[in-house]
């Protein structure tokens, strides 16, 4: 395990005050704070190696290109992809999901064809498919879940038919923290010759992902949720799929040859990277990955699992507390020291409501105590409908959070509760 005090020293923002109180930052599922090494690496490149990448023959362009492509290799190793041609840089998870939904539906779907998603998806994995539905007449089918936030796999199996063309699911729910059984989901889909896209926005920051072991066809995640900069993300796609998909946008980088009669396109990944890439951000993302790996992904996972378990136990003692998600499975598996995060366990997110206190009121008053949490529907309104609430309060954890901060959160909730 790593030294939490040394780690926190790498994140200067954690030492600041808010409203005269020490900052307790528990909004990591929205975005994480950035270590100095990431900020320094990006500043250093702007100062000493800033030039547009690819095709440039001068020294600075060559240097910037090397850093950019080294970042691609860092990402490849991070998720254990076979080759760097399977790593597409995007602006984030949302763009990756949109890219696949748009190009896949264009190439492989027609009116009446179906895509399977789950009830706990982020809007970014619902709306792009709805746009495809408006354009091409495809349909969405939805995997239901139990009351404690576990997907119904038996119901999922029954959703398949000859019209099913894609399954697109979250690895970890950004609301419930449920670690979905994506390996099983993928195996079932592949038995029907249906590809699977995994939304890894809430898994990549918290535990190791092996795309070859999972056998997913696509995986997307964001840099800013894993200690890297905003505006950079990753789409992993199996080489055979990326070769089949049409380009998403047109412009520089993604072309091989252009004439007014015909344009030919680059091979993946450049085929999907139109325009100047954010080569500074890709370097920042690679630095963030190196930082995480220096601490050990297994150490990060164990630390955050312990925090999640402690938070559920501590908050569960508060009068009127309602915690959403598979809390029982987390507590039982943790007590048995089972390998985590197991499928259907609870990872790094605790969503809750207290009595009749509106989630916005709770969040606003906690902010006055220096505690940063997220309130609302968390871009998952269909899930809120399933839970029968308008929104929740969400505390989400990162590698730098502590049990002491959870104690401050619990004490803050108690203080707010007594006001109502």
Q: What is the tens place of the pLDDT at every residue in 37-46?
A: 999 999 999 9
Whether this prediction's pTM lies above 0.85 is answered by: yes
Distance CA 202, CA 308 (A): 14
Q: What average pLDDT score do residues 369-397 get?
A: 98
Is the pLDDT assigned to residue 76 strictly greater than 60? yes
Is the pLDDT assigned to residue 319 strictly greater than 90? yes
Question: What pLDDT score was predicted for residue 329?
Answer: 52
| Structural contact between residues 383 and 144, judged by C-beta atoms closer than 8 angstroms | no
Question: What pLDDT score was predicted for residue 345?
Answer: 86
Is the pLDDT assigned to residue 400 strictly greater than 70? yes
Q: What average pLDDT score do residues 240-247 get?
A: 98
Q: What is the DSSP string of 361-404?
A: HHHHHHHHTTEE-EEE-TT-HHHHHHHT-S-EEEEE--TT--HH
Is the pLDDT assigned to residue 195 strictly greater than 90? yes
Is the pLDDT assigned to residue 289 strictly greater than 50? yes
The pair of structure tokens assigned to 338 is 């089972």
Report residue 327's pLDDT band, with 50, 70 and 90 as the boundaries: confident
Burial 256-291 (b: 16+ CB within 10 A, else e): eeeeeeeeebbebbbbbbbeebbbbbbbbbbbbbeb
Nearest CA among 292, 295, 240 for reference residue 78: 292
Is the pLDDT assigned to residue 188 strictly greater than 50? yes
User: How is the chain split into domains, by residue range?
Assistant: 4-30+297-417, 40-291
Is the pLDDT assigned to residue 335 strictly greater than 60? no
Q: Which of 127-141, 143-157, 337-351, 371-385 has the lowest mean pLDDT?
A: 337-351
More confident residue, 65 or 332: 65
Q: What average pLDDT score do residues 308-333 get?
A: 85
Q: What average pLDDT score do residues 107-126 get?
A: 98
Q: What is the mean pLDDT of the chain?
A: 95
In percent, the amount of the chain with pLDDT more than 70 equals 96
Report residue 334's pLDDT band, with 50, 70 and 90 as the boundaries: very low
Could you please state the CATH topology (level 3) that the domain comprising 4-30+297-417 is classified under: 3.90.1150
Is the pLDDT assigned to residue 204 strictly greater than 90? yes
Is the pLDDT assigned to residue 248 strictly greater than 60? yes
Q: What average pLDDT score do residues 147-153 get?
A: 96
- Domain 40-291 is in which class? alpha beta
Q: Give the three-state DSSP class for 340.
A: coil
Q: Give the three-state DSSP class for 339.
A: coil
Active centre residues (catalytic): 379
Report residue 55's pLDDT band, with 50, 70 and 90 as the boundaries: confident
The three-point CA angle 104-109-111 to 5° equals 145
Q: What average pLDDT score do residues 210-214 get?
A: 98
Tokens 């264009």 sit on residue = 106
Q: Which of 34-38, 53-57, 356-360, 390-394 has the lowest mean pLDDT?
A: 53-57
């Amino acid at each position: 395990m790593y030294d939490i005090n040394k780690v926190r020293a790498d994140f200067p923002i954690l030492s600041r005050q808010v409203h005269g109180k020490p900052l307790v930052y528990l909004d990591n599922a929205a975005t994480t704070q950035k270590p100095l090494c990431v900020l320094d690496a990006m500043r250093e490149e702007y100062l000493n190696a800033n030039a547009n990448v690819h095709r440039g023959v001068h020294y600075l362009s060559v240097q910037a290109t090397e850093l950019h492509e080294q970042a691609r290799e860092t990402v490849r190793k991070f998720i254990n992809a076979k080759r760097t041609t399977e790593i597409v840089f995007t602006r984030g998870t949302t763009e990756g999901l949109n890219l696949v939904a748009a190009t896949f539906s264009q190439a492989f779907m027609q009116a009446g064809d179906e895509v399977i998603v789950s009830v706990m998806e982020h809007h970014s994995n619902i709306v792009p498919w709805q746009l495809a539905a408006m354009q091409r007449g495809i349909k969405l089918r939805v995997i239901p879940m139990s009351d404690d936030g576990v997907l119904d796999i038996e119901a999922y199996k029954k959703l398949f038919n000859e019209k099913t063309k894609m399954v697109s699911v979250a690895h970890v729910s950004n609301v419930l923290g449920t670690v979905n059984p994506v390996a099983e989901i993928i195996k079932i889909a592949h038995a029907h010759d249906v590809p699977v896209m995994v939304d890894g926005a809430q898994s990549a920051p918290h535990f190791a992902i092996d795309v070859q072991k999972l056998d997913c066809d696509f995986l997307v995640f964001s840099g800013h949720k894993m200690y890297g900069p905003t505006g950079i993300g990753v789409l992993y796609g199996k080489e055979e799929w990326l070769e089949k998909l049409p380009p998403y946008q047109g412009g520089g980088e993604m072309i091989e040859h252009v004439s007014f009669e015909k344009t030919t396109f680059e091979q993946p990944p450049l085929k999907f990277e139109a325009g100047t890439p954010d080569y500074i951000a890709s370097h920042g993302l690679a630095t963030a990955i190196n930082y995480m790996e220096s601490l050990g992904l297994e150490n990060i996972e164990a630390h955050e699992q312990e925090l999640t378990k402690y938070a559920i136990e501590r908050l569960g003692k508060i009068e009127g507390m309602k915690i959403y998600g598979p809390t029982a499975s987390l507590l039982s598996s943790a007590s048995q020291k089972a390998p985590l995060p197991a499928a259907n366990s609870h990872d790094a997110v605790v969503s809750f409501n207290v009595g009749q206190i509106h989630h916005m009121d709770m969040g606003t008053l906690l902010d006055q105590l220096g505690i940063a949490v997220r309130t609302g529907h968390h871009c998952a309104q269909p899930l809120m409908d399933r839970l029968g609430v308008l929104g929740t309060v969400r505390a989400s954890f990162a590698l730098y959070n502590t049990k002491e901060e959870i104690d401050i959160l619990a004490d803050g909730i108690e203080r707010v509760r007594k006001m109502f």
